[in-house]
Amino acid sequence: MLPSILIIENQAYPIPWSVQSFKDSLTKDYFCQVMLLEEQIIGYFIIQIILDEFQILNICISPDYQGKGLGKLQLLEIVKLAETKRMNRILLEVRTSNKVAKNLYQNSGFHQIGKRKNYYPTKSGREDAFVLELALG
């Protein structure tokens, strides 16, 4: 399963997660789910559960399947899961340059609650992150 995820990760992100980052997230405080189409992985998400909060660490759709509503479907799945587990809120960071992801989150009710300066590496330096929240309950 990990090799298929890594292929998508490398196609979808300019600065992808390493194999080790994925392995680190396979511990008990994390929740990972894949999206399948005819037994082929086309998307995945990884959440860290911290007390009554979900932190979305990675949410990704294979570039071949982007723009078809599947990212929104995965995000709805996360929200449903958080509600089932009686979480208080969902948090995430997103690159300030990632307009598609920012639109997805804002159209799904997330609000900006902060900004982290130079949070992400880029190919030529660093870039800020918006911190977004969806309050639940």
Ligand X SMILES: CC(C)(COP(=O)(O)OP(=O)(O)OC[C@H]1O[C@@H](n2cnc3c(N)ncnc32)[C@H](O)[C@@H]1OP(=O)(O)O)[C@@H](O)C(=O)NCCC(=O)NCCS
| Interacting residues with ligand X (CB under 6 A) | 12-13, 59-61, 66-72, 94, 98-101, 103-104, 107
For residues 36 and 100, which CB has a smaller minimum distance to ligand X in the complex?
100
Closest distance of CB 106 from ligand X, Å = 7
Tokens read off for 92: 């995430």
Q: Name all contacts of 128-131 with Cβ < 8 Å and 24+ positions apart.
A: 128/95, 128/96, 129/93, 129/94, 129/95, 129/96, 130/93, 130/94, 130/96, 130/102, 131/91, 131/92, 131/93
Task: Give the residue with the Cβ less far from ligand X, 9 or 87.
Answer: 9
Compare residues 31 and 86 and give the one whose CB is closer to ligand X: 31
Q: Annotated catalytic sites, by residue?
A: 93, 105
Closest approach of ligand X to the CB of residue 116, in Å: 13
Kindly list the distances between the CA atom of residue 49 and the CA atoms of 73, 117, 135, in Å, as whole numbers in the listed order.
Answer: 20, 24, 15
Least CB distance from residue 47 to ligand X, whole Å? 12
